[in-house]
């Protein structure tokens, strides 16, 4: 490459532009920066309302930041406002029922209807009303799982086996689930744990996370979806020091989905974890069943 005047002049011209424009840069960036800030505030209000809605259970008050976030998002960015409205709609539907685990006929019907609508309604709004294709459920990616993915599945199962018995039994969190002793009760618990685990990935990952990724970087979208995810799990029963487990779990699930683009994979991860949850809950109420946990603390009585 030549080092003559012709080659040097573009560099000098570029240098002159940079030098002479630095004093104007803050004024030029300010109009673009404000909408960016408000977009983040809007999403934080919508997703943060889950803490009030599910964790603290102050649902009339929780709708204030939820609606304010949608309005603010709409004012800052019309597409963001629509997506936040879809997320808020799903959260609002879920909030119509108590989320404490309930294995009665009425409880299971309530869960089935509310959680199904919380997925179907946002999907229909996005796909058939707004004509978007952001919400998808990628069961098949056409790619084989790598050795790392298979190793991760083993790691998840191992971590669940070691951590969950100690968490549930030492904290007493297992009491947040109904007592299961009879065969029918155990069967209902199995169905409930797996159904809710499947719904978690459909709603929090394929709807909430996917819509947020459209507007925010991965780290921000992941933190926002995890806020909703963990708040839901708190009301479901993962209380006491449960967030020490559920926060990293929710973040890792979002990150894993962003890497694999596979609903099937993150669902298998989740259901393997939930298989341990199911066995621990049964063991907690009926100690002679699934007496296989080396980290289960001894209990008196």
| pLDDT score of 16 | 42
DSSP conformation letters of 246-298: HHHHHHHHHHHHHHH--HHHHHHHHHHHHHHHHHHHHHHHSTTTT---TTPPP
Residue 4 forms part of a structural domain: no
Q: What is the pLDDT of residues 15-34, one digit of tens each?
A: 443 434 333 444 343 444 55
How many domains are contained in the chain?
1
Q: d(Cα 29, Cα 47) in Å, to the nearest integer?
A: 27
State yes or no: pLDDT of 148 exceeds 50: yes
* 172 Rama class: left (phi>0) / alpha (psi -120 to 50) / beta: left
pLDDT at residue 34, as a whole number: 57
> What is the mean predicted confidence (pLDDT) over 162-173?
96
- Residue 294 counted as domain residue: no
Residue 59 pLDDT level (bands cut at 50, 70, 90): confident
Based on its alpha-carbon atoms, the radius of gyration of the chain, rounded to whole angstroms, reads: 24
Mean pLDDT score across all residues of the chain: 89
Residue 293 forms part of a structural domain? no
Q: Residue 224 sits in which domain range?
A: 28-285
Q: Is residue 292 part of a domain?
A: no
Please indicate, yes or no, if residue 299 is contained in any of the structural domains. no
- What is the predicted pLDDT for the residue at 18? 41
- The verdict on residue 7 lying in a domain is no
Q: Is residue 2 part of a domain?
A: no
Tell me the mean pLDDT in the region 107-116.
96
Q: Is residue 227 part of a domain?
A: yes
Q: How far apart, in whole angstroms, are the C-alpha atoms of residue 191 and residue 187? A: 6
What is the average pLDDT across 234-245? Answer: 95
> Is the predicted pLDDT of residue 84 greater than 70, yes or no?
yes
């Amino acid at each position: 490459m030549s080092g003559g005047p012709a080659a040097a002049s573009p560099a000098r011209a570029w240098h002159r532009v940079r030098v002479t424009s630095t004093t104007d840069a803050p004024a030029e960036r300010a109009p673009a920066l404000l909408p960016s800030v408000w977009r983040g505030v809007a999403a934080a209000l919508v997703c943060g309302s889950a803490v009030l809605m599910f964790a603290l259970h102050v649902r009339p008050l929780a709708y204030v930041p939820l609606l304010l976030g949608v309005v603010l998002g709409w004012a800052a960015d019309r597409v963001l406002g629509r997506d936040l409205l879809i997320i808020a709609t799903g959260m609002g539907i879920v909030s119509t029922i108590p989320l404490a685990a309930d294995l009665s006929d009425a409880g299971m019907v309530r869960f089935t209807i509310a959680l199904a609508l919380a997925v179907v309604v946002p999907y229909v709004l996005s796909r058939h009303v707004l004509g978007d294709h952001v919400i998808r459920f990628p069961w098949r990616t056409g790619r084989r799982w790598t050795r790392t993915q298979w190793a991760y599945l083993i790691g998840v199962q191992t971590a669940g086996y070691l951590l969950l018995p100690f968490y549930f039994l030492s904290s007493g969190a297992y009491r947040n689930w109904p007592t299961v002793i009879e065969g029918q009760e155990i069967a209902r618990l199995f169905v409930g744990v797996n159904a809710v685990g499947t719904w978690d990935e459909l709603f929090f990952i394929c709807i909430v996370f996917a819509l947020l990724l459209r507007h925010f970087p991965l780290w921000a979208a992941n933190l926002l979806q995890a806020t909703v995810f963990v708040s839901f799990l708190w009301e479901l029963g993962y209380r006491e020091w449960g967030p020490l487990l559920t926060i990293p779990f929710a973040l890792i699930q979002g990150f894993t989905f962003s890497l694999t683009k596979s609903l099937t994979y993150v669902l298998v991860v989740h259901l393997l974890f939930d298989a341990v949850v199911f066995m621990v809950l049964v063991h907690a109420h009926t100690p002679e069943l699934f007496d296989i946990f080396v980290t289960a603390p001894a209990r008196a009585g």
